[in-house]
Every structure is written in C-alpha cells, then in structure tokens.
A and B are shown apart, each in its own frame.
Chain A
Amino acid sequence: MGRYILRRLLIAIPILFAITLIVFSIQLLSPGDPLNAYVPPDFPLPEAQREALRHQLGLDQPFFTRYGYWLKETLQGNLGTSIRTHETVVNSIRNRAPATLLLMGTALTIGTALGVLFGVVAAVRQYSVLDGILTVFAFLGISTPVYLTGLLALYIFALRLGWLPAGGYSTPGQPFSLTDRLSHLILPAAIIAVNYIAQTMRYTRSAMLEVLGQDYVRTARAKGLDDRVVIARHAFRNALLPIVTLIGASVPALIGGAIFIESIFGWPGVGRLLLSGVEARDYPIIIGITFMLAIVTLIANLITDVVYAFVDPRIRLD
C-alpha cells in the first residue's frame, strides 16, 4: 500500500510541473502588449516610464526567464500580487476559500447521499414508475446547465416565493447565526448538486444492476436471506466500488458549477474572485486561481486512486 501511494505521488510531480508551464503560458494568448494589463494603452504615460515599468515588472525578459522566476516564487508559496487590489494572490484566495469549500462540501455531501440513494432505489425497482421518473429527472438534470437551474431556482424560491434569501453569504447587518448561513447556503449548494445527483444516480443504478445480476447475489437470495440484507450487504457494498471513483472524478465539474453559482448567488468565493479577475484582466489572479484549482483536482485524483486501492485490494497488484 505504501509503495502504491508513493508511486502515485511520484507520477504527480511531473504533471504538477506541466501544469505550472501551461498555466503560466495562458497569458501568452493575450493579444497586444502585456503591459496593457497594468497600464491601459490610452493612459497618458510617457514611453520612457512605460519602458521603466516594463523593466521593473520583468516584462522585457524572455518567456522562460519569467517562467523560471514565477516558478521559483510559486514553489515558495508566493503567487504574486493582484493588479487590481494589490493584495497578494495567496491572501485573496485564502480569504475566499472557506466560502467555496463550504459550498462545494455541502453540494458534494447532498449530491452523493441523494444520488446514491436514488440510484439504488432505481436499480432495485428497475422499470417501475419510480425508476422512470428518476430516469427522466436524470436526463433533465444532465441537459439543464447549472447557470439556468440557478437562475430558475433564484427566480422561483427567492424572488417569487420569498422562502430563501436572494443570494449573498449572510444577511447584512445581522450577527452570524447558523440558521442564517444555512438559509443562504441551501439553494446554491442544492443547485450545484442537481447535475451531480443526476450523474451519480445513473452511475449507481448501472453499478447496482450489474452487481444484482451476479451469482453471489442469486446465491444469497437462494439461501433465503432477507431482501434488504442482500441489497445492503451483498449488492450495495460491491456497487460502491465504482462510485468511489465517480466522487473524485466529479470534483472538477463541481468546481466549474461553483463558478457559475457563485456569480449568480453573489457567493463570495474563489469562483467570483476568478471572474472579477477576468473582468479586470488581472493575470496574477487568473493564473493563481487556475493553478490552485488544478492542484485541487490533482489532489482529488490522488485521493481517489488511494481510496480506490484501499477499498479494492486488486488494484494494488498491478
């Protein structure tokens, strides 16, 4: 087990370096003078001063010199300073990360629980009316983009029915309370979860159906075991194996959903920070966040691999 984890970690290192190179190259795509991100081209600044600034920012250096410098700083935990707010990128992300983690953690928990539950029910009652309804829901869930679900939910539950607050992190002017936070959290988290529930459900359903067709399930039933015992102990535990990988593989998509939802619900997380960086062409912010989120995905993949090896000993052998 230890050797398996070590090997996975070693593979991740070159990937990490490739990520840094790609992330840093993103700004090369930008047409025109890179100085424009710092000083608008129509800003009245003498050419000499522009040159001085260019030199000071290192923009006159060749690409790989700049990359080397950036990489050195990044490895020491310095992602630069935001052009717009002059706050360090690491601090900006650190301030926004708790909100995003709360949102994604809730969405992942709700999504996994409901998705697996619906999937098992649909598989056990295959071809029933309930299965049909759940399948239709899954298809709609996969075909409806998260930004549209978000707009609809905001319109119906917050603006028309007034059940929940119309976005934000907490009610302004009120001291922190758990119920207040929850009332702001539940709608965006549920929306991010919808798509994920649909996918988890379809995945769980087919995994369960496959296991339910196995000989050992038939044997267990033939022994006269209670149906619930067979489903919970023999079928579900084996169907869980592929579901573990799905949870890890869904992290990137959930991050993507969070960007839209944070924008729609005014949730003060990393996604909104990225979008405000995009609007201001704030490259340190754009690069820093893209890099951080790629690392998160990489770690999620690593954890998935390790957990999978842990629950399924066969993986470790090859």
Chain B
Amino acid sequence: MSDRTDQLGPKDVVRSPAREVIRRFMRHKLAMTGLIVFLVITLMAVFAPVVTQYDPNQIDLRARSQGPSLDHWFGTDRTGRDLYTRTVYAGRISLLVGVLAVAISVALALILGSCAGFFGGKTDTVIMRFTDVMMTFPPVVIFVAVAAAAGPGLRNTILVIGLLFWMIPCRLVRAKILSVRETEYITAARAIGVPTGRIVRVHAIPNVLDVIIVYATLGIANAILLEAGLSFLGVGIQPPTSSWGNMLNVARNINILESEPWLWIPPGIAIVLTVLAVNLIGDGLRDALDPRSRL
C-alpha cells in the first residue's frame, strides 16, 4: 500500500461502504472462525431432526444414566433420554431466546435512545433518569426477581431478558444521536422543512446502525448467558423443554455433578462455544466497522 498516491489508478477498486466492511470482516481471522463455529451450531440447531437420531423427550428406561457410548454419544440421563439429542435441540431454545430477546431490547433502545437524543429537554431527562434507575438494579438480581414474579417459561424468559436489557444500548444510541444532531446535513434537512420523524428515520437512525450492530451481536452472547443462568436457577426455561441452562441445572445436585459429568459438561461446552463465537464475531464487526482500525 506504500506506493499508493492520492489519485486512483486504473487498478484501484472503489467499494461501497457495506462491501468494504464485509471485506474487512472477512480478513479478520478470529471473527471468521467465530462466524463458522456459530454457523455450524446454528445449522445443527435448525436441522436438529436431521443430525440426531432420537426424540429429545423420548424416555428409555432400559438405557438410564449411561455414560457416553456409540449409541448415545453424550450418554443418557436418569430417564434414558439421549443427551446428544437434547443438547442439539436445546440449542434451538437458547439461540431463539438470544436472538428474540436482543431484537426486543435493541428496538426499545433505538426508540428510547433516539427520542432522548433527538428531542432533548424534558424527554431526554425523563428517559435518561429512568435508564439510570434501571441500571441500579444488579442484573441477575432483577432478572431473577422479575422472572419469579412473572413465572417461568419460554415467552416470559424472552420478555424478561428483552425488556430489562436495553439500558446500555439506549445510552449508546442517545450519545450517537446527540453528535449526529449537530451535523450540517441535519441542519440542512431541517432548513428545507423535512418533518422530524423523517429526519430521525432517514438521517439519524442509519448513523447509529454500526453501534447497534456491534451491540446486538455482543448482546446475543449475553442474552444466551442470561437465559442459561435463569434456567440454571430454575426460573427460566422449564423441563421437559431442554435448554443449555436447564440441562446444567441437574448439576446442582452434587451426586450428579460428581458421578455423571456427561450430563452437564456438553451443555456447558455448548454455551461457552456459542458465546465465545458470538463475542469473536462482535469484536470482528467492531473492528470492521471502525475505519480507523487497520485490517
């Protein structure tokens, strides 16, 4: 690149910003590793019936509490259900909760954050003070308390995580909107009489997309961890539906923890692999979206 001058030569390629970001992301080795791992996990979850040979809830009393074998790759639990099958199916639930919860929280953050940043004044004060208040609750504590009151289950777990997880992205969006608001093109749009709603949608929101994309990616990792945590404590996804968290739950029994490690180690590895992969993707996206970082 050292021989490059200010002028574009015939061999230089001009890329659109989106393509440039994709190109930079593809060069990020760790992020690409994360993406591949995440894709494999997602595909396995989506095509769970194809990659497994048992029914996740099928009880087989002749095959109870067996260690890993050729028939049962990850062994079986105390009612003879195949743990490899359950781990794969659990991935569906964990990924579903992660993605939907983040979709809710990001939507909330976008609405609240852009209102606070764009309208300023009283709206801003009220929204930001509310955000401050919500942030004084230690995360796990408030999730456990709310989940306990609302009752466990898939829908409530998604709602609890989604509705209590918007504070940090909301602040990010507000900060970004505040800086965008002062730019000339917004002033210009105002001057020619573009309605405020349209200015926010067309000019302001696209500018916060990079912040949101990175946050949403990392947020999926956190949401998966939270879902697993709540289910581990028994206030999240309820059996017989398997999620990685409630599969770990049995390990709170110290006999199972000691004598049947195959019950809890595979879902544990699944959580770490998924979260690690998502975090790597998030880091890669952050670097790829930041024009100052060299890639």
Contact = CB atoms under 8 A, between A and B. Distances in A.
Nearest to B267: A148
A152 B264 CA distance: 10
Interface in B246-295: 248, 251-252, 254, 257-258, 261, 264, 268, 271-272, 275-276, 279
Nearest to B273: A143
A263 B129 contact: no
Contact of B145 (A31, A279, A286): A286
Nearest to B254: A166
B38 to A, nearest CB: 13
B115 to A, nearest CB: 19
Interface stretch (B3-11, B148-156, B180-188): B148-156
B149 A286 contact: yes
A133 to B, nearest CB: 16
Contacts of A263: 233, 252
Contacts of B134: 22
Interface stretch (B61-69, B96-104, B135-143, B198-206): B135-143
Residue of B129, B136, B254 with most chain A CB atoms under a 10 A cut-off: B136
B138 A256 contact: yes
A255 B130 CA distance: 22
Residue of B137, B232, B254 with most chain A CB atoms under a 10 A cut-off: B137
B235 interface: yes
Nearest to B232: A147
A144 B137 CA distance: 22
| Residues of A contacting B: mostly | helix
Interface string B145-186: 110111100000000000000000000000000000000000
Nearest to A31: B151
Residue of A145, A257, A297 with most chain B CB atoms under a 10 A cut-off: A145
A39 interface: no
A27 B151 CA distance: 11
A256 B228 contact: no
Interface residues of A, number: 53
Contacts of A15: 129, 132-133, 136
A274 B149 CA distance: 13
Interface in B105-143: 129-130, 132-134, 136-142
A238 interface: no
A64 interface: no
A27 B146 CA distance: 8
B144 interface: yes
A283 B149 CA distance: 8
8 contacts: A15-B129, A18-B133, A143-B279, A145-B272, A167-B254, A257-B140, A278-B233, A294-B137
Interface of A: 14-15, 18-19, 22, 26-31, 139-140, 142-145, 147-148, 151-152, 154-155, 159, 166-167, 251-253, 255-257, 259-260, 263-264, 274-275, 277-279, 281, 283, 286-287, 289-290, 293-294, 296-298, 301
Given A143-B276, A145-B272, A256-B141, 4 more contacts: A30-B151, A152-B268, A274-B141, A294-B136
